[in-house]
């Protein structure tokens, strides 16, 4: 028979960046944690691929499992911490097995929570165990708690933010240095800030995983990663970043989730945001998340979205909740009560747009372009030709008033076919918060 002051005994699968960070934090703050939750948190078992690998932390007192899934069956464990990664495979098998064995689960795995979150939340609810995932969104920023606990009494209408530190770092350096995307990405990889395969980060997939989780939490609907409109930052040029600056904006990779009477919009794409806005001020590897509650108003949290220390901080906060007996529903409402996601198509989005055209500098070119905008009832706020080069190509930059995405994409498809337009038109959405 166990008593409430007995240590919480955990097994950690994955001893990479986050796993070793979690071990280090638990060992450093053992006494502090005990004083805060009335019991110790003891690492009873660990698993990783290579037992002989040096990890810079001492886990010799813990039982070693070559097979992470087998660790879920260890009868001594109260909770399993999944820090392997990946939406499927070992991570998913481990979490399913741990829940099946009646053990609490803590994970930092946004891909798994975005793609399997509902299934796992239902299983955890049926088994009467906690499924905690604070570290999966924005690393060290307690954004899950902000929405689920802090805004528990609010209707939430919109959540948005900078959810990927790698992309924000690249866009920040491009703005500061005037360099192009490929050049800055290569440097970030050489410095170890970006992965050797950076596609999840720079193509918006990582941010979309996180946004899908936040959407479910904020609106009480099923996690619907497939409904997120995703664009990355590869096509953002130094020229657009410079023009954005002249217009009072910064370009950020934003995740935006908004609920309307018609449904739920989820989108990840580069945005122009007012340079002086709180979200516009989030630079470098930092993340920032804004949640809008009907009684609390707009709340913003900013901090480190990745790295061993910040991510371990979120993992251990979840373990402390389990040790204290705090048991909030996984996605803020009972998993069985999650509503269908009611996704809105991107075509129905409305907003202002920045357009940059590369055109031959000849009489009548602007007239052809504006005639197409007139046909789609798109109203131009400002138009500026950059430079003068008769017979040569020049940039024409336009800001258009709020319009429907469907009208804008159709108009740009027609503009792209004009003989005088020599490159694919650039379009970046503007968010005036």
Site for ligand NDP in 296-325 (CB under 6 A): 306-307, 311
Q: What distance, in Å, lies between the first and last C-alpha atoms of the chain?
A: 55
Q: Is 81 in the site for ligand NDP (CB under 6 A)?
A: no
**In the annotation, is 110 catalytic?**
no
Q: Is 135 in the site for ligand NDP (CB under 6 A)?
A: yes
Site for ligand NDP in 82-111 (CB under 6 A): 83-85, 90, 108-110
d(CA 61, CA 285): 35
Nearest CA to 172 among 268, 286, 267, 256?
A: 286
Output the CA angle 420-426-429, nearest 5 degrees. 140
Q: Is 417 in the site for ligand NDP (CB under 6 A)?
A: no
d(CA 139, CA 109): 11
Q: Which residue matches tokens 């204290």?
A: 324
Distance of CA 419 to the CA centre of its chain: 40
Taking every pair of C-alpha atoms in the chain, what is the biggest distance, in angstroms? 87
d(CA 219, CA 292): 11
Q: What token pair was written down for 224?
A: 């619907």
Smallest gap, in angstroms, from Cβ of residue 193 to ligand HSE? 8
What secondary structure letter does DSSP report for 280?
Answer: G
Q: Is 82 in the site for ligand HSE (CB under 6 A)?
A: no
From ligand HSE, ligand NDP, none, which one binds at residue 201 (CB under 5 to 8 Å depending on kind)?
A: ligand HSE
**Could you give phi then psi for residue 293, rounded to 5 degrees?**
-100, 150
From ligand HSE, ligand NDP, none, which one binds at residue 166 (CB under 5 to 8 Å depending on kind)?
A: ligand HSE
d(CA 256, CA 290): 10
Q: Which is nearer to ligand NDP, 17 or 277 (CB)?
A: 17
**Could you give phi then psi for residue 215, rounded to 5 degrees?**
-60, -45
From ligand HSE, ligand NDP, none, which one binds at residue 164 (CB under 5 to 8 Å depending on kind)?
A: ligand HSE
Count of CB atoms situated within 10 Å of the CB of 62: 18
Q: Which is nearer to ligand NDP, 91 or 221 (CB)?
A: 91
From ligand NDP, ligand HSE, none, which one binds at residue 14 (CB under 5 to 8 Å depending on kind)?
A: ligand NDP
Among 2, 3, 35, 53, the residue binding ligand NDP under the rule CB under 6 A is: 53
Among 11, 19, 140, 165, the residue binding ligand HSE under the rule CB under 6 A is: 165
Q: Which is nearer to ligand HSE, 210 or 259 (CB)?
A: 210
Q: What token pair was written down for 196?
A: 């050797």
Q: Which is nearer to ligand NDP, 48 or 398 (CB)?
A: 48
Q: Which of 110, 145, 210, 250 is catalytic?
A: 210
Q: For the chain, what's the residue count? A: 433
Q: Is 68 in the site for ligand NDP (CB under 6 A)?
A: yes
Q: Is 291 in the site for ligand NDP (CB under 6 A)?
A: no
Among 206, 231, 265, 283, the residue binding ligand HSE under the rule CB under 6 A is: 206
Q: Is 164 in the site for ligand HSE (CB under 6 A)?
A: yes
d(CA 219, CA 331): 9
d(CA 103, CA 98): 5
Decide: 143 and 301 in contact? Cβ < 8 Å. Answer: yes
Q: Is 47 in the site for ligand HSE (CB under 6 A)?
A: no
Q: Which residue matches tokens 């940059």?
A: 356
Site for ligand NDP in 17-46 (CB under 6 A): 17-19
Smallest gap, in angstroms, from Cβ of residue 222 to ligand HSE? 22
User: Which residues form the catalytic set?
Assistant: 210
Residues forming contacts to ligand NDP in the complex (CB under 6 A) are: 13-19, 47-50, 53, 68, 83-85, 90, 108-110, 135, 139, 306-307, 311
Residues forming contacts to ligand HSE in the complex (CB under 6 A) are: 164-166, 201, 206, 305-306
């Amino acid at each position: 028979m166990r008593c409430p002051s007995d240590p919480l005994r955990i097994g950690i699968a994955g001893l990479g960046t986050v796993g070793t960070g979690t071990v280090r934090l638990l060992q450093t703050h053992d006494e502090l944690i005990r004083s805060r939750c009335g019991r110790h948190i003891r690492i009873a078992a660990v698993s990783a691929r290579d037992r002989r690998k040096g990890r810079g932390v001492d886990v010799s007192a813990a039982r070693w499992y070559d097979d992470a899934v087998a660790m879920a069956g260890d009868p001594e464990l109260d909770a399993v911490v999944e820090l392997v990664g990946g939406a499927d495979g070992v991570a998913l098998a481990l979490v399913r097995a741990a829940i099946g064995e009646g053990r609490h689960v803590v994970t930092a795995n946004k891909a798994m929570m975005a793609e399997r979150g509902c299934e796992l939340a239902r299983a955890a609810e049926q088994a009467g165990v906690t499924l905690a995932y604070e570290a999966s969104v924005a690393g060290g920023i307690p954004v899950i708690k902000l929405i689920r606990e802090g805004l528990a009494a609010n209707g939430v209408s919109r959540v948005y933010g900078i959810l990927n530190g790698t992309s924000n770092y690249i866009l920040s350096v491009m703005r500061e240095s005037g360099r192009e995307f490929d050049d800055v990405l290569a440097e970030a990889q050489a410095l170890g800030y970006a992965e050797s395969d950076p596609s999840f980060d720079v193509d918006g997939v990582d941010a979309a995983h996180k946004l899908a989780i936040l959407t479910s939490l904020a609106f009480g609907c099923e996690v619907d990663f497939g409904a997120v409109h995703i664009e990355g930052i590869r096509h953002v040029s130094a020229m657009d970043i410079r023009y954005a600056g002249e217009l009072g904006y910064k370009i950020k990779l934003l995740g935006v989730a908004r609920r309307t009477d018609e449904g739920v919009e989820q989108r990840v794409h580069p945005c122009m945001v007012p340079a002086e806005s709180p979200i516009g001020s989030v630079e470098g590897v930092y993340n920032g998340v804004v949640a809008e509650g009907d009684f609390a108003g707009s709340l913003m949290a900013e901090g480190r979205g990745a790295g061993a220390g910040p991510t371990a901080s979120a993992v251990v906060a979840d373990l402390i909740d389990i040790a204290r007996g705090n048991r909030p529903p996984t996605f803020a409402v009972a998993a069985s009560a999650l509503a269908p996601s009611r996704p809105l198509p991107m075509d129905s989005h409305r907003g202002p747009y920045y357009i940059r055209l590369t055109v031959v500098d000849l009489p009548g070119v602007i007239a052809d372009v504006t005639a197409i905008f007139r046909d789609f009832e798109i109203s131009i706020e400002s138009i500026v030709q950059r430079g003068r080069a008769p017979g040569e190509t020049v940039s024409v930059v336009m800001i258009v008033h709020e319009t429907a995405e469907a009208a804008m994409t159709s108009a740009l498809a027609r503009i792209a076919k004009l003989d005088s337009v020599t490159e694919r038109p650039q379009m970046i959405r503007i968010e005036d918060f």
